[in-house]
A and B are shown apart, each in its own frame.
Chain A
């Protein structure tokens, strides 16, 4: 039950006849009794809310930054026309700030025995699953003085996927991959690459790749062509512990790591490698294994959608053990974690040798552009102290990275915008060097 502004307005206008003609209890009664009767009639004539039928349809997933349309079908089984205002309630992060009221509210008439559709346009601001809350419907009477109100549950979930903004780098990295692949005229010979085929020598080819044995059998000079290794195994390890929660810009470190991981996965699956994903802090948060090349990216995106940073210290021992169990044969393990001194020195370094013994390890870390800015600050005392603190932080990171490199780990430390291409480059370099 709810009153409307119209009823209040009529009551306010009623003060004129009360004041001018009949300033007494009689006048008050003469104005308010008909109003009350009209409200009661309105209430009786409004279509019942409880018996409405609600069904949903529409998008079930959306990339962060895009819009999703979810359709609500309202069936009016009663014999009274429904004049309704409804609110399709979703969690606050489903809307852009400030647009919630206009986006979630609808006005619609449903004639007796018919059904109508309304479309709610969602524009989520964060990753993860968004579950529809209740649908509240207010059914007005024919006079618009009084209404019935009721709540319906129409469950629906929209999964908000990582935006994968780094996919703009994919074409250039794929071109670089094709260069490695020997499909273009420029051939880069790597050490550990596999023999592909023989072809005729053209000026400009590396003379070291001339196959003299084959040349002796033929009348022309033959060169060997090479192609990079294929069917290698790559394990992406996302650290979802407390260090991934720190915000760089206005997104957590984890989001930048995911972006880089997705670019690497897209690239590696095109290069014919198999990509698995492990997300870990103190237990396994997500595990994607054994997907085919065409299927790997959607499953990764799906698994990453619901990952949130946990405010716990990552268990490096457990992480290493799980990674070893997940990749039984030699593979490239990409650790997307941090270069902060304490977690690395106390957590990862003691157990790193277990990983480096059998696998190639690549560590990618999100650097904070704000630290870089702070390091350049000059002018007053505060700025210089900030610069000193930032310099201290940077040198600690460099020191940690140096320690890791000494263990044979390739380290990539870049700001969120540069991390994805830098990681892809590191992967291509490893591939070209035949270290996979």
Chain B
């Protein structure tokens, strides 16, 4: 069998050109959206970039304080991992933890162990209530922050007294350590705490707000003085900026998760199975052509009105109407059987004598049955229906 040279095309699928024509508007919109998003991201990116980073000259950076410290012979080293920070602690070192809240639970415990016996100074910048309890046991943070940001020293700490008022207002702390210096109080809660180590001459400083370290706030009040005195007490400053690339955040030796315990073959095999499941979903999702719509005919039962009427009778307990209907039907059926014209079927005077003659019975009983009062209750109605049936059978029998 050979085919004709030209067959009229019956294809209804869109061609590549049609697909492009239809989709290009959406594609263009998506491209514009993406370009816009990138542009906005580029323009706005430097706003909060390098916060508390001693290498950043942004308003929120801390390069100024690092430069000032360098002029005074304190060298600043930035570390981003916990291992480096823990290794750098020592008697001649100040360890500044920039954002302690970013550290995981286990990291905070390790950090605390590392600096607790180092004889150096540790400065914690604005730790929240969860972190401060783990990093400096005995200190708790108040859930409400201070209203003012500029506070006066109110304590005996020489550094604070020399500096005078400073922008330390932020998280407020209480402590159970009796020998702690509580400075810059706001409503009797300190925003700067210095906790001397019980052994040796190291100490821990908890600072309620990072403002005194920021570039654009350094020249306000006594910020610069306070910052230099807090950070310049040792010849080395280690500036710890917690980062997401620090692997110690997830996998620690004592807290191994379920996935660490699984052999890696299982994990990668499962990943491949997920790929297979995705392919199977694609396989099953593709339909062999669209659904075919069709107009459906109406489906109303012809007997619906009669059924509705029956339910209405039932609801209204319309025994009179029901009995009437049943009686009149029986009368209409009985009349021809007894030789009474159908037009006179509903007159007792015509029907009853003919009926009693037919049945050789008494007419009083028949009168109540066929023309009597409506039944008083449901049982009487049922009985009436049965009696009417019996009467009809009786008349039809001979």
Query: Of B279, B290, B294, B381, which contacts A384 at CB under 8 A?
Result: B381
Chain B residue contacts of A22, Cβ below 8 A: 268
Output the nearest chain A residue to B281 by Cβ-Cβ distance. Answer: A8
B2 at interface by CB-CB < 8 Å? yes
Whether A388 contacts B321 by the Cβ 8 Å rule is yes
Whether B325 contacts A391 by the Cβ 8 Å rule is yes
Whether A105 contacts B381 by the Cβ 8 Å rule is no
Please give the distance in Å from B37's CB to the nearest CB on chain A.
Answer: 29
Query: Of B12, B292, B303, B328, which contacts A152 at CB under 8 A?
Result: B12
Output the nearest chain B residue to A112 by Cβ-Cβ distance. Answer: B3
Known: A23-B264, A53-B7, A384-B382. A5 touches B309 (CB 8 A): no
A-contacting residues, B290-315, CB 8 Å: 290, 292-294, 297-307, 309-311, 313-314
Scoring A residues 301 to 343 as 1 if CB is less than 8 Å from chain B, else 0, what string do you get?
Answer: 0000000110100000000000000000000000000000000
Whether A2 contacts B309 by the Cβ 8 Å rule is no
A residues touching B (Cβ–Cβ < 8 Å)? Answer: 2-5, 7-9, 11-12, 14-16, 18-20, 22-24, 27-28, 31-32, 49-54, 75-77, 85, 87, 89-93, 105, 113-115, 126, 133-136, 138, 149-154, 245-248, 252-253, 308-309, 311, 366, 368, 370-371, 374-375, 378-382, 384-395, 398
Whether B329 contacts A394 by the Cβ 8 Å rule is yes
Segment at the A interface, from B143-151, B156-164, B269-277: B269-277
Q: Number of contact residues on B: which range applies?
A: 35 or more
Whether B325 contacts A392 by the Cβ 8 Å rule is yes
Scoring B residues 254 to 290 as 1 if CB is less than 8 Å from chain A, else 0, what string do you get?
Answer: 0000000001111111111101110110110010111
CA A398 to CA B263, docked complex, whole Å? 87
Q: List 17 extra interface pairs beyond A14-B276, A151-B289, CB under 8 A.
A: A2-B283, A20-B265, A22-B268, A23-B267, A27-B268, A75-B4, A76-B3, A113-B2, A138-B288, A153-B12, A309-B297, A368-B306, A370-B301, A371-B303, A375-B329, A388-B313, A395-B328
Please give the distance in Å from A85's CB to the nearest CB on chain B.
Answer: 7
Whether A308 contacts B272 by the Cβ 8 Å rule is no
Chain A residue contacts of B269, Cβ below 8 A: 15-16, 18-20, 23
Most buried by A among B1, B265, B293: B265
Whether A19 contacts B265 by the Cβ 8 Å rule is yes
Query: Of A20, A77, A247, which contacts B300 at CB under 8 A?
Result: A247
Chain A residue contacts of B332, Cβ below 8 A: 395, 398
Chain B residue contacts of A246, Cβ below 8 A: 300-302, 304
Scoring B residues 3 to 33 as 1 if CB is less than 8 Å from chain A, else 0, what string do you get?
Answer: 1100111111101000000000000000000
Query: Of B272, B292, B298, B389, which contacts A31 at CB under 8 A?
Result: B272
B354 at interface by CB-CB < 8 Å? no
Chain A residue contacts of B294, Cβ below 8 A: 91-93
B323 at interface by CB-CB < 8 Å? yes
Whether B271 contacts A389 by the Cβ 8 Å rule is no
Query: Of A28, A89, A92, A398, which contacts B275 at CB under 8 A?
Result: A28
A/B pair count, beta carbons within 8 Å: 230
Whether B305 contacts A91 by the Cβ 8 Å rule is no
B residues touching A (Cβ–Cβ < 8 Å)? Answer: 1-4, 7-13, 15, 263-273, 275-277, 279-280, 282-283, 286, 288-290, 292-294, 297-307, 309-311, 313-314, 321-323, 325-326, 328-329, 332, 378, 381-382, 385-386, 389
Output the nearest chain B residue to A5 by Cβ-Cβ distance. Answer: B283
Whether B272 contacts A388 by the Cβ 8 Å rule is no
Whether A133 contacts B292 by the Cβ 8 Å rule is yes
Output the nearest chain A residue to B288 by Cβ-Cβ distance. Answer: A87
CA A115 to CA B112, docked complex, whole Å? 82
Query: Of A91, A149, A382, A394, which contacts B310 at CB under 8 A?
Result: A382
Query: Of B3, B263, B267, B288, which contacts A53 at CB under 8 A?
Result: B3
Output the nearest chain B residue to A152 by Cβ-Cβ distance. Answer: B10
Known: A18-B268, A384-B382. A391 touches B329 (CB 8 A): yes
Offer 16 A-B interface pairs, CB within 8 angstroms, sorted by A: A5-B280, A12-B277, A15-B270, A53-B9, A54-B10, A77-B3, A113-B2, A153-B11, A309-B298, A378-B385, A382-B310, A384-B322, A387-B385, A388-B323, A389-B310, A391-B325
Please give the distance in Å from A259's CB to the nearest CB on chain B.
Answer: 16
Whether A77 contacts B265 by the Cβ 8 Å rule is no
Query: Of B276, B279, B310, which contacts A388 at CB under 8 A?
Result: B310
Chain B residue contacts of A93, Cβ below 8 A: 294
Output the nearest chain A residue to B283 by Cβ-Cβ distance. Answer: A3
Whether B268 contacts A374 by the Cβ 8 Å rule is no
Whether A19 contacts B268 by the Cβ 8 Å rule is yes
CA A335 to CA B223, docked complex, whole Å? 105
CA A293 to CA B46, docked complex, whole Å? 94
Output the nearest chain A residue to B383 by Cβ-Cβ distance. Answer: A384
CA A392 to CA B389, docked complex, whole Å? 16
Whether B272 contacts A75 by the Cβ 8 Å rule is no
Output the nearest chain A residue to B332 by Cβ-Cβ distance. Answer: A395
Whether A153 contacts B299 by the Cβ 8 Å rule is no
CA A371 to CA B271, docked complex, whole Å? 66
Chain B residue contacts of A27, Cβ below 8 A: 268, 272
Please give the distance in Å from A262's CB to the nearest CB on chain B.
Answer: 20
Chain A residue contacts of B326, Cβ below 8 A: 384, 387-388, 391
Known: A7-B283, A381-B378, A388-B322. A105 touches B310 (CB 8 A): no
Query: Of A24, A105, A113, which contacts B268 at CB under 8 A?
Result: A24
CA A308 to CA B382, docked complex, whole Å? 42
Query: Of A135, A152, A382, A384, which contacts B385 at CB under 8 A?
Result: A384
Chain A residue contacts of B298, Cβ below 8 A: 245, 309, 311
Query: Of A16, A248, A308, A388, which contacts B325 at CB under 8 A?
Result: A388
CA A108 to CA B266, docked complex, whole Å? 42
